[in-house]
Amino acid sequence: MKVLVIGSGGRDHAIAWTFARSPRVKQVLVAHGNAGIAQTAGCVPLKTIEEMVDFAERERVDLTFVGPEKPLSSGIVDLFQSRGLNIIGPSRQASRLESSKCDAKVMLRELGIPVPEFAVFSEAGPARQYVRQVGYPVVVKADGLAAGKGSLVCSTVEEAEQAVHEIMEQRVFGDAGARVDIEKRLFGRELSFFCFTDGYSIVPMVAAQDYKRARDGDEGKNTGGMGSYSPHPWLDDGLVGTIMTRVAEPLIRGVRDRYGLLYRGILYLGLMLVEEGAEIVPYVLEINIRLGDPEAQVILPRLETDLVDICEAVLAGRLQEVRPVWDPRYRLCLIATSGPVKGKKGWYKGYPDRYRIGAPIEGLERIDPGCLVFHSGTGRDGDGRWLTTGGRVLCIVSAGDTLAEAREIAYGEMEKISFDGLYYRRDIGKE
Ligand code: GLY
């Protein structure tokens, strides 16, 4: 079987690696990939979804799996399906669950799914007025796609007003900031929960802890994710049941029966678990229509069932027959980013702010083969030497019988990597 993976980040590297492990897969191709992914799969320089569908047809690709949200929101699934090609992911319309934070929150509320108190604004004046009057800390979210950086977590009214200004008036996230979702900031424990679904049946995966803030102790700006681990310490069968009955099932059933959207593929629930009396309430902070980055890097290495079999069941609408098997051992992912560094024209603050690229990366060949290295932003120079090409550069994924063991291994291996400006959080997996 020939599989095409769409994407070019660490998550997409992990997806390609997972398919490459399948005895049913002869060839894995990635559009467009990166220099690190090229060690695992054949990278093809396709840019548009039209180029991708032409390629898949011409090369007789049997299965396409989409990593990032952008091609999904642009309608890649609709396009492939219109040409009779097998592809995993939701349609363009169903992708609104991620591509519009505002519409998604309204739908969730209408479906009776727990969400923080929120309001939607398309003008800065009323938004500013709202954050002055609510009397609690808020999170201001750009409506559209912003590479995981569009949620500004605010502690004071001044910060909230500044967030409204940056998103709606300065348009720091471009047109994604034409509307905002302003929601009550909840305090609890975040959990990234993933399911496979064929639009009727829903099969939960294992969950992961993501670390979204740039600095230790959950300080600093929101990023796409600075590290992760799985299993999640809070997730037992009881909590899985609660999340399925209170969120995943009413959501998939509701978007289908009430809004006419058959949601197929991966469902990613960004949840805040809040203890209310004797129960834990899973509030939905965000819905994503794909695997997380860096959650996929710790979840997929734990998947013992062939991902091809699961994808086929999704496509055939017989997911109820599938019971995925997971390795119980811990995986921990530590992301190396392009951090603060001095350039010719002054300081670069580093990811998620402006960062410098082109720094030579040393030490990759010394990483223990028991760990996985997935690449997000790497390239090679004419002599084959590794260079940084992005804000998130690469990650190390370790395995351990305990979280502490996995943590010790990942941090030990990361010490072997060096490049100018290398920055990583020191508290991933530190409970
Ligand atoms: N790790 C967060 C995301 O993938 O959106």
SS3 labels along the chain: CEEEEEECCHHHHHHHHHHHCCCCCCEEEEEECCCCHHHCCEECCCCCHHHHHHHHHHCCCCEEEECCHHHHHCCHHHHHHHCCCCEECCCCCCCHHHHCHHHHHHHHHHCCCCCCCEEEECCHHHHHHHHHHCCCCEEEEECCCCCCCCEEECCCHHHHHHHHHHHHHCCCCHHHHCCEEEEECCCCEEEEEEEEECCCCEEECCCEEECCEEEHHHEEEECCCCEEEECCCCCCHHHHHHHHHHHHHHHHHHHHHCCCCCCCEEEEEEEEEEEECCEEEEEEEEEECCCCCCCHHHHHHHECCCHHHHHHHHHHCCHHHCCCCECCCEEEEEEEEECCEEECCEEECCCCCCCCCCCECECHHHCCCCCEEEECCEEECCCCCEEECCCEEEEEEEEECCHHHHHHHHHHHHCCCECCCEECCCCCCCC
Q: From CA 281, how far away is CA 287, in angstroms rounded?
A: 16
Residues 124-162 have pLDDT tens digits of 999 999 999 999 999 999 999 998 789 999 999 999 999
The pLDDT of residue 391? 97
pLDDT above 80: residue 403: yes
Average pLDDT over residues 67-84: 98
**What pTM, to 2 d.p., does this model score?**
0.95
Which residue, judged by its Cα, is nearest atom 3 of ligand 1? 292
In the numeric block, the tokens 């603050």 are attached to: 349
What percent of the chain has a predicted confidence (pLDDT) above 70?
100
pLDDT tens column, 84-133? 999 999 999 999 999 999 999 999 999 999 999 999 999 999 999 999 99
- Which of 221, 295, 300, 376 best tests ligand 1's pocket when mutated (most atoms within 8 Å of CB)? 295
> Which residue from 192, 211, 221, 395 has its CB within 8 A of the most atoms of ligand 1, so it is best to mutate?
192
pLDDT tens digits, residue range 194-226?
Answer: 999 999 999 999 999 999 999 999 999 889 999
Half-sphere exposure of 285 (CA within 13 A, CB side): 25
Instruction: For ligand 1, say whether the CB of 293 is within 6 Å of any of its atoms.
Output: yes
Longest alpha-carbon distance in the chain: 61
d(CA 292, ligand 1 centre) in Å: 4
pLDDT for 412 equals 98
Category of 411 on φ-ψ map: left (φ > 0), alpha (ψ -120 to 50) or beta: alpha
295 pocket-lining for ligand 1 (C-beta < 6 Å):
yes
* Ligand 1 geometric centre to CA of 386 (Å): 25
Q: Is 12 in the pocket of ligand 1 (CB under 6 A)?
A: no
- Band of the pLDDT at 386, cuts 50, 70, 90? very high
288 lines ligand 1 (CB under 6 A): yes
Ligand 1 center to residue 294 CA distance, Å? 7
Closest ligand 1 atom, residue 290 Cα: 4
Q: Is 148 in the pocket of ligand 1 (CB under 6 A)?
A: yes
Can you tell me which residue has the tokens 């009413």?
Answer: 250
Cα 239 from Cα 196, distance rounded (Å): 18
> Does the Cβ of 116 fall within 6 Å of ligand 1?
no
Taking the centre of ligand 1 as the mean of its atom positions, its distance from the CA of residue 296, in whole angstroms, is 9
Check residue 344 and give its pLDDT: 85
pLDDT interval class at 319 (50, 70, 90): very high
Measured from the CB, is residue 270 less than 6 Å from ligand 1?
Answer: no
Look at residue 431 and tell me whether its pLDDT is greater than 80.
Answer: no
| Ligand 1 and 398: CB distance under 6 A | no
Predicted local distance difference test score (pLDDT) of residue 69: 96
Which among 193, 293, 351, 428 is the best mutation to test ligand 1's pocket, defined by most ligand atoms within 8 Å of the CB?
293
* Model confidence at 266: pLDDT above 90: yes
Flag whether pLDDT at 345 surpasses 90: no
Answer whether 210 contacts ligand 1 (Cβ < 6 A): yes
Average pLDDT, integer, range 300-307: 98
Note whether 189 and 144 are within 8 A (CB): no
